[in-house]
Structures are given as C-alpha cells and as structure tokens.
Copies of this chain bind each other. A is one copy, B any other.
C-alpha cells in the first residue's frame, strides 16, 4: 500500500531563539515528522527557503522502509545549520511516497506552546 505524496511544503518555519524547561525535550524546536509506510527506504532532500537570501540545501535524509522519523530542523547541519529566530520555509522531496507533518515546540515562556499541521502535499 502506498500512502502519501513525493513533494511536500511547509510555509511556516521559525525556531525560537531560547528555551525554558528541563532537558532536550523542552528545547524550542521545529520538526518534520516523516512517515514512510512503503517497503523501500525513502531518500529525502529538504531545501530551506529564506526571506532575504538564496535557498540552502539539499539536506539529505533517509527514512527506512516501514519507519517514521521526527527530524528536528535544529539538527540539520549539512550544508549549513538553520539560524535561530529567523523566518524560513521548507520543501521536502522523496523518491517514495511519504506523509509529512510539521510541529513546533516553543518554550520561550513559562509554559510551552505547540503547533502542528499536516504539510502541503502535492
């Protein structure tokens, strides 16, 4: 069974500049949660778009067959880390169908705030 699309976009993107709360879980972050239900490894390329400079990428990631990966944009390092407190967007292209959901945890104030949406799949 195939589920998903090969091209996805997340127009919102912003990693808050600071954090409150204990440990790795409460570091302010954005994630692309990627589900690959196929029986082939997904080779994924993410391109990051900015408001005032050329796009950066591709960031190359893999999601094994029948697995999910919740990638933090904070952890993308190659070709360049994503600056904090900066507007961006992302395009995610895979060689097999995947499903992409966008999430942010913002722990800048005393209690954390969360957002999520299924990305735009094409």
List A residues at the B interface (Cβ < 8 Å). Answer: 1, 3-4, 7, 9-14, 17, 21, 25-26, 31, 33-35, 37, 49-52, 54-55, 66-70, 85, 87-89, 91, 99-104, 106-122
Contacts and interface: CB of A to CB of B under 8 A. Distances in A.
B70 A54 contact: no
B49 A12 contact: no
A103 B12 contact: yes
A21 B113 CA distance: 14
Contacts of A9: 3-4, 35, 37, 99
27 contacts: A3-B9, A3-B91, A4-B9, A9-B35, A9-B37, A10-B101, A11-B68, A11-B101, A21-B108, A26-B109, A35-B89, A49-B66, A49-B68, A51-B68, A51-B69, A70-B87, A104-B114, A106-B112, A107-B109, A109-B110, A111-B113, A112-B113, A113-B113, A113-B114, A116-B116, A117-B118, A118-B119
